[in-house]
Amino acid sequence: MLKLDRRSFLATTAGLSFLTFLPRIAFADGHADTLRVAIAGETGDLDLLQNVSTLSSYSAVFDALIHYGPGGALEPGLATAWKIAEDGLSISFDLREGVSFTDGTPFDATAAEWNLKRWMGVADFSWIGIADAYDNITIDAPNKITVKLKRPVPAALLELTIVRPVRFLSPKAAAGQPIGTGPWIVESYSSTETVLVRNDAYWGEKPAFGRMELKVVPDELARANALRAGELDVIGGDWVAALSPRRAKALEGEGMTIVAEPGTATTILGFSPKSPMMQDKAVRDAIFLGIDRAAVATVLFEGYADPTADIFPTTVPTAGARTPVPARDVAAAQAALTAGGWTGDASGWTKDGAALEIAFLVSEESFPGSRRIAEMIQGMLMEVGVKTNIETVDNATMHERRPNFDYDLTFFATYGAPYDPHGSLGASFVTASDTGPDGKIYVHPDLDALVATALETGGDAREGAMQAVYDWLRDNTAACPLVVTQRLWAVNPRVKGFTLPATDYDLPFKGITLG
């Protein structure tokens, strides 16, 4: 039989305590200078021309000519200055001098030209206005280039801030080698982790810590638990590793720092322009008025969302004048139906013998949490008398049905910064655009003309042209904006000075110090 005296008990306890602290000691040795950030999907080799890597890590490794700043301000990147010709047909760039790629290759006009020609004028990238309008590039000096265009592209400078393909790769990089001029260098990447080390020769403000480990954690609860356990320092960012409002609330209650700021992407309820039911403006009006946006923001987004009646929030440039967010008004919704020739009440409506019944297409895979929002809206519309049938489908079915407008109602989201407003307007509201499986929010011949004018108009007239689009969308109840979800991040207490990156496509590291 085991005999345990006081001395051996104390020795055993001390030994076990030491073993318990071993991982923390190891952590202190190995991770003190390392920021561990969750990413939802692997980074891959960060190929700038392929749509295979997650979007979150490009800006850490590669620079663009122009960087996206707060509120859409354009900040110098690899270009220190730029000038658009009066006719809008050429843009000249002064390139930053003394910059090298991390393999030692100098960044100059030749390297810039090589990079830009990889995507400008290439059919695959015609969705980018400046690529579609590209004519040629001239090297004016060792550090000065001019891009010539076939037609003016007012959003050209904003387009040069997007994640890919606009960033700059070393011309000497072998295939699969992500070598840029950015603040971080890829040390290794695998399906579970990507390790970045600080680029000590970076031209801009260098990170305050030397290493960043991007841990692939696809499950949101697992990410939150890893943050709680101290295995991760930062989680969040819609395109990095999304943090749900509910989880953020739970983490906040446990002492984690939650950083929330107004978002740049709008969640929109889309009406199918091909659905006979939704072509009736009275039905669209009834839905628009019958939804309690504030309740959606409070109940399902825990207050981490802002109700809206506009397509774009003010956090993106030229978002237009604000429309007051309508309070839910069941009587007004029913009055709209009556004015539209419908007869009925809260128990149901009919017109020309047809019952008012709407198919609400939802995919949790495409849009996590959408079924709960749909259920809430279904309950609200039920009180108006609009019967809503929620069809829950998988991603593949959603990708098949959405481009064909094979639904009455479904959810959309605008792209957010740095792609908006030109990105969402040019893709999701234009009949001829190719948005693939994403579908379009609303299309109409009149709207096509207005959007084309808005996207081609520059200078002082641009704001008015954009406003004309927003007015048309509002007057025709072409879509039903619901909320702007806030940008949400949760941070371990050892992370000091956390500030949100410029967009949710960027990794957070600027200003951060590790305790």
Partner 1 sequence: MKNWPWAILAPAVIFVLIGIFSPWIMTHDPAAQDYGALLQGPSGAHWLGTDYLGRDMFSRIIGGARTSLVAMAFVLMAALAIGVVIGSFAGYVGGKTELVLISVIDIALALPSLVIALALMGVFAGENFSWMSDYWKMIVALTLAWWANYARMSRAVVVAELQQPYIEAARVMGASHIWIFTRHILPHVLGLVVVYASADAGALVLAIATLSFLGLGVAPPTPEWGQMLVDGMSYIEENPALVIIPGLALTAVVVSFNLLGEAFALQKVPRAVRGRFLARKKAARAAEEAARKEVEA
Where does this chain bind partner 1 (CB under 8 A)? 221, 244, 246-247, 249-250, 295, 298-300, 364, 369, 371-372, 374-376, 378-379, 382, 389-394, 397, 406
Cite the DSSP H helix spans in 254-315: 281-290, 293-295
Rounded CA-CA distance 246/303 in Å is 10
Residue 441 corresponds to which tokens in the numbers above? 């929010």
Please give the backbone phi and psi of residue 361, each rounded to the nearest 5 degrees, phi first: -85, 125
Farthest CA pair distance, the chain = 95
Return the number of the residue (208 or 250) whose C-beta is nearest partner 1.
250
Nearer to partner 1, 199 or 272 (CB): 272
Shortest approach of partner 1 to residue 255 CB, angstroms?
Answer: 15
For the bound state, the minimum distance from the C-beta of residue 379 to partner 1, rounded and expressed in Å, comes to 4
The Cα 154–Cα 132 span in angstroms is: 13
Nearer to partner 1, 134 or 360 (CB): 360
Least Cβ distance, residue 296 to partner 1 (angstroms):
10
Q: Both tokens of residue 5? A: 């005296």
Cis before 76 (ω within 30): no
- CA–CA dist 23, 386 (Å, integer): 58
Identify which of 96, 120, 129 has the alpha carbon closest to the alpha carbon of residue 202. Answer: 96
The tokens describing 264, both together, are 């740049």
**Pairing mode, strands 409-413 and 357-362:** parallel
Give the nearest distance from C-beta 250 to partner 1 in angstroms.
Answer: 5
Is residue 39 within 8 A of residue 226, CB to CB? The reply is no
Q: How far is the CB of 213 from partner 1 (least distance, A)?
A: 26
Q: How far is the CB of 226 from partner 1 (least distance, A)?
A: 14
Q: Which is nearer to partner 1, 262 or 379 (CB)?
A: 379
Query: CB 216 → partner 1: shortest distance, Å?
Result: 22
Output DSSP code: residue 437. G
Identify the three-state secondary structure at position 265.
coil
Axis crossing angle, helix 281-290 with helix 370-384, rounded to the nearest 10: 110
Question: In this structure, how many other beta carbons lie within 10 angstroms of the beta carbon of residue 205?
Answer: 9
Q: Which is nearer to partner 1, 398 or 466 (CB)?
A: 398
Least Å distance between CB 334 and partner 1? 19
393/507 with CB nearer partner 1:
393
Which structure tokens are listed for 461? 């007239």
Q: Indicate the residue among 329 and 456 with the shorter CB distance to partner 1.
A: 329
The C-alpha atoms of residue 481 and residue 490 are separated, in whole angstroms, by 27
The closest of 438, 432, 401 to 419, measured between CA atoms, is 438
Q: Which residues contact 242 (CB under 8 A, 6 or more apart)?
A: 40, 220, 236, 368, 488
Residue 425 near residue 454 (C-beta atoms within 8 A): yes
How far apart (Å, rounded) are the C-alpha atoms in residues 486 and 242?
Answer: 11
Closer residue to partner 1, CB minimum distance, 351 or 372: 372
Comparing CB distances to partner 1, the nearer of 379 and 497 is 379
Could you tell me the two tokens for 115? 């990079």
Minimum CB separation from partner 1 for residue 238, in Å?
17
Q: Given the complex with partner 1, which of 76 and 369 has the nearer CB atom?
A: 369
Q: How far is the CB of 47 from partner 1 (least distance, A)?
A: 32
By beta-carbon proximity to partner 1, the closer residue of 149 and 251 is: 251
Q: Which is nearer to partner 1, 236 or 508 (CB)?
A: 236
Give the number of other CB atoms < 10 A from CB of residue 301. 25
Q: How far is the CB of 389 from partner 1 (least distance, A)?
A: 6
Minimum CB–partner distance for residue 293 and partner 1 (Å): 13
Residue pair 169/180 in contact by the 8 Å Cβ criterion: yes
